[in-house]
């Protein structure tokens, strides 16, 4: 069996190469800068184990105009396999990037001008930025590292370890100019809402924050441990100051999601009357509809194209250890299978290499992380011919 299969008219090229491994991280950020010339990535010398507190990743700039030349620009010890170091371009400053770091026994975020090399440190790590880059939202990465390995950072103790739902832990808001920050939603507050017996005597945490398209609301997942080692999940939204807290989905399972606009959320979730599906939830109303019934039948890392006409998603490995990359058009139900990529079975659990597909800013290309050639690298797939003419 081939290590990958790409369907016409799609074309693919690697933008990183060995012997070291490269990846970008999660699916909800774009590695491309505003000009389309540069991409961001991370480089590491191993791929077969979780990071330790002493393991660094190298942050690099990929120059697409010079044969995808790799230019190392920084290092950090605040990273994980699934989401990296939250590396991304600053929306308000096209030559600046931001990433999480560890300094002085705490996690911070660092803003770096890739042209001048000047940097500044903010007092908290970031999880999600507002669309204009004026504020960030964040959480306790040490707690996530314990409760959901592969999504948090090691190296800093969790000050609230042993507390099921602490008052002093939760979601923080931070001003990106001044570093001013405050706790806006606590774990204790959310755990007390719609409380049921499964929430007793167990550890709660927050995960997966994303701001909507105009910066007026954000969503996050509230999770708590089950006795079998799994977890329950609810999805909430709120205003940036933590007010107007609203439970969008509360039936035990919510996974990957993306805001379509300022008030609609695409998410793979469980609804008691339907089961597991992709749903389009309307914030603050309780309304929802199934998306891709009978077509999008698996959970995946879903995101809308820049023009909001297409949904990009992927799958877990099938029986042949192949991950599938898919495009779906909600307006008429058209499904395009871009290709499939071998996923080495030894890379499983928190060290797995999900495709984590993300759009270029013009919607003509898609970047994936993949280990189908035996090492973890970044690839760019050209999709413009299909999505703009299909």
Q: How far is CA 171 from the centre of its chain?
A: 17
**pLDDT one-digit tens code per residue, 267-282:** 999 999 999 999 999 9
**pLDDT one-digit tens code per residue, 163-177:** 999 999 999 999 999
**pLDDT one-digit tens code per residue, 310-365:** 999 999 999 999 999 999 999 999 999 999 999 999 999 999 999 999 999 999 99
Q: Do you find a cis peptide bond into 90, omega within 30 degrees of 0?
A: no
Q: For residue 251, what pLDDT band results from cuts at 50, 70 and 90?
A: confident
Bridge-partner residues for 268, per DSSP?
Answer: 278
CB proximity list for 184: less than 8 A, separation 6 or greater: 170, 171, 172, 173, 238, 240, 241, 242
- The CA-based dihedral angle spanning residues 18, 29, 339, 269, taken in that order and rounded to the nearest 10 degrees: 130
Q: For residue 2, what pLDDT band results from cuts at 50, 70 and 90?
A: low
* CB burial string 63-78: b at 16+ within 10 A, e below: ebeeebebeeebebbb
Q: Which of 336, 371, 329 is nearest to 354 (CA)?
A: 371
Task: Give the separation between CA 42 and CA 299, rounded to whole angstroms.
Answer: 26
Task: Give the separation between CA 151 and CA 84, rounded to whole angstroms.
Answer: 8
State the pLDDT at residue 304. Answer: 98
| 288-291, strands of its sheet edge to edge | 254-259, 264-271, 275-282, 288-291
State the pLDDT at residue 390. Answer: 73
Task: Give the separation between CA 340 and CA 357, rounded to whole angstroms.
Answer: 12
Please name each of the domains of the chain with its CATH number: 16-304 (2.130.10)
**Number of other residues whose CB lies within 10 A of the CB of residue 136:** 25
- Cα separations in angstroms, 152 against 145, 176, 290, 340: 4, 22, 31, 28
* CB 343 within 8 Å of CB 313: no
**pLDDT of 206 above 80:** yes
Tokens 């909800």 correspond to what residue? 28
State the pLDDT at residue 1. Answer: 45
Bridge-partner residues for 181, per DSSP?
Answer: 174
**pLDDT one-digit tens code per residue, 45-94:** 999 999 999 999 999 999 999 999 999 999 999 999 999 999 999 998 99
State the pLDDT at residue 229. Answer: 84
Task: Give the separation between CA 33 and CA 63, rounded to whole angstroms.
Answer: 10
């Amino acid at each position: 069996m081939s290590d990958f299969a790409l369907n016409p008219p799609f074309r693919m090229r690697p933008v990183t190469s060995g012997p070291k491994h490269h990846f970008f991280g999660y699916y909800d950020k774009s590695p491309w800068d505003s000009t389309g010339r540069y991409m961001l990535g991370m480089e590491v010398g191993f791929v077969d184990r979780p990071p330790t507190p002493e393991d660094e990743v190298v942050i690099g700039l990929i120059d697409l105009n010079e044969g995808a030349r790799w230019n190392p620009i920084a290092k950090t010890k605040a990273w994980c396999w699934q989401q990296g170091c939250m590396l991304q371009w600053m929306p308000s400053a096209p030559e600046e990037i931001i990433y999480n770091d560890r300094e002085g026994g705490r996690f911070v975020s660092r803003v770096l001008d890739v042209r001048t090399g000047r940097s500044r440190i903010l007092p908290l790590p970031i999880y999600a930025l507002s669309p204009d880059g004026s504020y960030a939202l964040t959480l306790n990465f040490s707690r996530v590292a314990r409760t959901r390995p592969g999504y948090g950072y090691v190296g800093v103790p969790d000050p609230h370890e042993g507390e099921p739902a602490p008052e002093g832990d939760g979601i923080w808001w931070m001003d990106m100019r001044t570093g001013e920050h405050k706790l806006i939603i606590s774990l204790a507050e959310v755990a007390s809402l719609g409380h049921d017996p499964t929430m007793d005597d167990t550890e709660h945490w927050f995960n997966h924050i994303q701001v909507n398209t105009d910066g007026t609301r954000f969503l996050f997942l509230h999770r708590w441990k089950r006795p079998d080692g799994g977890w329950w999940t609810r999805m909430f939204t709120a205003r940036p100051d933590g007010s107007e807290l609203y439970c969008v989905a509360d039936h035990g399972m919510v996974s990957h999601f993306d805001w379509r606009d300022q008030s609609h959320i695409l998410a793979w979730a469980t609804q008691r009357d339907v089961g597991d599906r992709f749903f389009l939830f309307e914030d603050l109303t309780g309304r929802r509809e199934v998306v891709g019934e009978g077509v999008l039948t698996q959970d995946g890392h879903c995101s809308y194209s820049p023009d909001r006409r297409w949904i990009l998603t992927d799958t877990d490995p099938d029986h042949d250890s192949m991950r599938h990359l898919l495009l779906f058009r909600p307006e008429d139900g058209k499904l395009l299978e871009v290709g499939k990529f071998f996923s080495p079975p030894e890379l499983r659990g928190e060290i797995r290499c999900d495709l984590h597909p993300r759009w270029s800013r013009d919607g003509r290309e898609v970047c994936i992380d993949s280990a189908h050639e035996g090492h973890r690298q970044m690839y760019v797939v050209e999709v413009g011919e299909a999505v703009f003419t299909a």
